Amino acid sequence: MKTKNKAAKFFSVLILLLIGFILYWSFTKPVSVIIQAGHEGRTTGNTGAESKHYREEEWNIIVADEVARLLKLWHIDVKRIPARVYPMKATIAVSIHFDGATKPCRSGASIGYPNQNSYAFAQKWKSLYKTYFPFKWHKDNFTKNLKYYYAYNYIKADKFLLLELGELSCKKQTNWLQPRLKKIAHLVAYSIATELGHSVKKPQF
Ligand SMILES: [Zn+2]
């Protein structure tokens, strides 16, 4: 009787471990691309930039959704995630953000990344977006939030870019950005697909 109980215990533990492993595997399974909408789902802490008319989170979601939709359309496997992260693996991870400034129009576009592995990809993005975005650019990793972004520690990606796509507290910039959000998303998706070796059509502005 005792041995039977032991065997039953052993197998139920084994089954639980197996279920745990399958769940863990499905959550952490490597994907080609991870797209994060910055601040999405946050109600406390860093909830993102805000201006009179716009909230960063909303714009991040519009852009991130469109990037993910296009990548799927081009048959690239993509995981679209909110602010909350857990250990994940990807070839490319991109986090979408818009900046805010206490003195309006002092900011603009910038890029953050965790290390030099992402440097070349970052420069490609900059030279592409620079041909469209007619406002200020900061140096890469110009704030701690860019250089030490929390998600770098959870998402293991060969290349990880945090994109600040413009300044939400500057009316001149929002006037330019707002009608172009989907075009900008197309540009982001295009540069990711190209980086992965896919040939897709360059968007026209
Ligand atoms: Zn942000």
Tell me how far the alpha carbon of residue 57 lies from the centroid of ligand 1, in angstroms: 8
Cα separation, 93 vs 162, in Å, equals 8
Tell me how far the alpha carbon of residue 31 lies from the centroid of ligand 1, in angstroms: 24
pLDDT tens-digit map of 176-194 = 999 999 999 999 999 999 9
pTM greater than 0.75? yes
Least confident of 46-50, 57-61, 85-89, 157-161: 46-50
pLDDT tens-digit map of 144-167 = 999 999 999 999 999 999 999 999
pLDDT tens-digit map of 114-144 = 999 999 999 999 999 999 999 999 999 999 9
Tell me how far the alpha carbon of residue 60 lies from the centroid of ligand 1, in angstroms: 8
pLDDT for the residue numbered 2 = 65
Tokens, residue 148: 């030490």
Give Cβ neighbours of residue 192 (< 8 Å, ≥ 6 apart): 33, 67, 71, 76, 92, 94
pLDDT-based confidence at residue 103 (cuts at 50, 70, 90): very high
Q: Range of 97's domain?
A: 31-195
Tell me how far the alpha carbon of residue 153 lies from the centroid of ligand 1, in angstroms: 17
Asked whether residue 118 is assigned to any structural domain, the reply reads yes
Asked whether residue 12 is assigned to any structural domain, the reply reads no
Number of independent structural domains in the chain: 1
Q: Do 186 and 70 contact (CB within 8 A), yes or no?
A: yes
Asked whether residue 159 is assigned to any structural domain, the reply reads yes
User: Kind and range of the H or E element at 32?
Assistant: strand 31-37
Asked whether residue 165 is assigned to any structural domain, the reply reads yes
Asked whether residue 113 is assigned to any structural domain, the reply reads yes
Q: Do 165 and 109 contact (CB within 8 A), yes or no?
A: yes
Asked whether residue 202 is assigned to any structural domain, the reply reads no
Q: Do 107 and 101 contact (CB within 8 A), yes or no?
A: yes
Tell me how far the alpha carbon of residue 97 lies from the centroid of ligand 1, in angstroms: 4
What is the residue-wise DSSP string for 39-54?
A: TTT-SSS----B-SS-
- For position 160, which CATH number holds? 3.40.630.40
Tokens, residue 160: 């990880």
